[in-house]
Chains A and B, each alone.
Chain A
Amino acid sequence: MREAFVDATTALLAEMPRTALVLADISAASFAPAAERHPDRVLNVGIREQLMVGVAGGLALTGLRPVVHSYAPFLVERAYEQIKLDLDHQGAGAVLVSVGASYDRAAAGRTHLSPADVALIDTLHGWTVHVPGHADEVPALLRAAVDGDGPAYVRLSTQANARPRGGDGALDVVRDAGPGAPLLVAVGPTLDAALAAVAGLPVTVAYTHRPRPFDIAGLRALAGAEVILVEPYLAGTSARVVGDALADRPHRLLALGVGREELRRYGSAEDHTRWHGLDAAGLRRSVGALLASPRG
């Protein structure tokens, strides 16, 4: 996905004169050709993440459309107050693009993990959040985000589904178990494991790569009495949204995702997926337990 992002952003910088890119050394080498062509609009501030976001705010105040890129914990967590004040409070939009979350570089340890990134962005108002499930989904998402004016967060990962899915972010039914069936919503790269998990079970599966704004209308149209969220970041990040959307209906919600506990284990991303119960076997255990438990 990172390569798709680099290629798409390089093209957008050439096509749209109002596009700017702000880096803090991460991926700077990949953007060297773009920097050579657009030295005034490709800005690498060095390892200075607070400044990176502040610069983006200033660029936006002059009418440019900044794309801001770094590793997820450095982009979203380190400079959170800059995101809140230098962008939101100024009424200045930018497109933040991260790589690495939630645990792409598991062997690097806690400093490079960022499962809370979407939850943190979700403390703000009016952001669009894109979580592509495949590299081929990236160019269109990115183009739409850069072509707009509002704030957007694009979360890139090495985790991916086997094939891309299109869509404008509305819930896309991948597997239809009929009216009233439990609804599983898989976000981004969790889809393949979710589909494998519910094989043989009467569960409808819908996919989205745009959890914010969440497709409320689609959810209300598809949801029966059980809703299962599978998200590749902090468990429960979208529970608030689903709960509000279905507040007028009796329903049960199972919110699956990355746990809050710091595991203090290295290993691979696949190991962490398993430890957080987000592999097919783990998801099947969780979904099976929900379906087996009696409705109150």
Chain B
Amino acid sequence: MIERVRAGREFGANVYSTVDVLWVLYDRVLRITPETADDPDRDRFLLSKGHAVAGYYAVLAAKGFVPVEWLDDQGGPDSRLGDHPDRLLVPGVEIGSGSLGHGLGLGVGTALGLRAQGLLTPRVYVLLGDAELDEGSNHEAIAYAGAVGLANLTAVVIDNGSATHGWPGGGAAARFAVNGWTAATVDGRDHDALHAALTGQDGNRPHAVVAVVRDGERA
């Protein structure tokens, strides 16, 4: 599927480092199907790092949210699949993204909106990159979600070592933990470890999963 999106183009680490997490989420974690894509009680997946789109489209196609044929013309003049996803053009896509630092705030609002309407089952997953955590808007969201114990929110950080100044002193997970989140750091290639971490919420606090992927090569 991803080869079909690739169509001879070179993909960077941002694609290959994300596709394992996306697959585990859509195959084993998220309660979403094409049939329940508009069900208020569905889990929400928000792709904040919108440039990681190739693997996302491939997974959406593999799971039947979009026709596989759409993959052949990504970014074309008549395509609904851009180099960043648009929720109004692509079935199953919860947010339009591309500019870094917007997904987690939207995720916090989504989690609050579900809670306010008594929808206590759905979980909200937001996928970010470690470099994206440089954006101050994410710090606003991390501090607030921790302070109010937003238990239905899970942040998934793909840590491929992209942040310019890094995250020393315990890595990205420490930044969440110090703000009152539960946090786990796992091998971003290990599907069972990912599954355990992505379902490791404690029911009281927001949860962060840092998926470490140290090389951009395909597994």
Residues of A whose CB lies within 8 Å of any CB of B are 20, 40-41, 43, 45-46, 48, 50-51, 53-64, 66, 81-82, 85-86, 89-91
CB <8 Å contact, B87 and A51: no
Q: Do A85 and B96 touch (CB < 8 A)?
A: yes
Query: B88 contacts the other chain (Cβ, under 8 Å)?
Result: yes
Dominant secondary structure of chain A at its interface with chain B: helix
Residues of A with C-beta under 8 A to B141? 51, 54
State which of B21-29, B64-72, B105-113, B201-209 sits at the interface with chain A.
Answer: B105-113
The answer on a CB contact under 8 Å between B40 and A57 is no
Give the complex CA separation of A48 and B141 in angstroms. Answer: 9
Q: List 29 A-B contacts (CB under 8 A).
A: A46-B143, A48-B143, A50-B136, A50-B137, A51-B105, A51-B140, A51-B141, A54-B106, A55-B106, A55-B112, A57-B105, A57-B109, A58-B105, A58-B106, A58-B108, A58-B112, A59-B112, A60-B109, A62-B109, A62-B110, A62-B114, A62-B117, A62-B119, A63-B113, A85-B102, A86-B102, A89-B96, A90-B106, A91-B87
Whether B94 is near chain A, meaning CB under 8 Å from some CB there, is: yes
| 11 further A-B pairs in the complex, CB-CB below 8 A; given A62-B117, A62-B119, A90-B87 | A40-B116, A48-B143, A51-B144, A54-B108, A55-B112, A60-B113, A62-B40, A62-B109, A62-B113, A82-B105, A85-B99
Residues of B contacting A: mostly = helix
Contacts A85-B96, A85-B99; is A48 near B140 (CB within 8 Å)?
yes
Interface size on B, residues (CB 8 A): 32
State the CA gap A60–B113 with chains docked (Å).
Answer: 8
Query: Which 9 residue pairs of A and B lie closest in terms of their CB atoms, listed nearest first?
Result: A58-B109, A54-B105, A62-B113, A55-B109, A40-B116, A58-B110, A48-B140, A51-B140, A59-B113
Q: Report which of A55, A90, A91 forms a contact with B108, defined as CB distance below 8 A.
A: A55
A residues near B94, Cβ cutoff 8 Å: 61
Within 8 A of A (CB), among B110-145: 110-117, 119, 136-137, 140-141, 143-144
- Which residue on chain A has the smallest CB distance to residue B147? A46
Known: A61-B95, A81-B99. A56 touches B116 (CB 8 A): no
List of B residues within 8 angstroms of A43 by Cβ: 112
- A51–B110 Cα distance when bound, in Å, is 12
Give the contacting residue for B144; candidates A40, A46, A63; CB below 8 A. A46
A40 touches B115 (CB 8 A): yes
Within 8 A of A (CB), among B71-89: 86-88
Nearest CB on B from A12, distance (A): 15
Across the interface, name the chain B residue whose C-beta is closest to A51: B140
**A45 in contact with B140 given A61-B94, A82-B102, A90-B87 (CB within 8 Å):** yes
With A and B bound together, what is the CA distance between A86 and B105 in angstroms? 9
Taken together as a complex, chains A and B put the C-alpha atoms of A55 and B114 apart, in Å, by: 12
Residues of B contacting A50 with CB < 8 Å? 101, 105, 136-137, 140
B97 to chain A, nearest CB (A): 8
In the bound assembly, the distance between CA atoms of A85 and B87 in angstroms comes to 12
| Inter-chain contact B112/A56, CB cutoff 8 Å | no
- Chain B: which residue is nearest A43 at the CB level? B112
In the bound complex, how far is the Cα of B40 from the Cα of A61, in angstroms?
Answer: 10
Which of B86, B96, B108, B113 contacts A64, CB < 8 Å? B113
Query: Closest CB-CB distance, B72 to chain A, in whole Å?
Result: 26
CB atoms of B144 and A45 under 8 A apart: yes
Please determine whether B137 and A82 come into contact, CB atoms closer than 8 angstroms: yes
Q: Looking at the assembled complex, report how far the CB atom of A132 sits from the nearest CB atom of chain B, in whole angstroms.
A: 27
CA separation between A55 and B107, bound complex, in Å?
A: 8
Residues of B within 8 A of A46 (CB): 143-144, 147
Query: What CA separation (Å) do A20 and B108 show in the bound complex?
Result: 14
Most A-side CB within 10 Å, residue of B110, B112, B119: B112
User: What's the least CB distance linking A227 to chain B, in Å?
Assistant: 37
CB contacts (< 8 Å) of A82 on chain B: these are 102, 105, 137
Chain A hits for B117, CB < 8 A = 62-64
Most interface-central of B88, B108, B143 (chain A CB within 10 A): B108
Query: Is B116 in contact with A64, judged by CB distance below 8 angstroms?
Result: yes
Contacts of A57 in B (CB 8 A): 105-106, 109
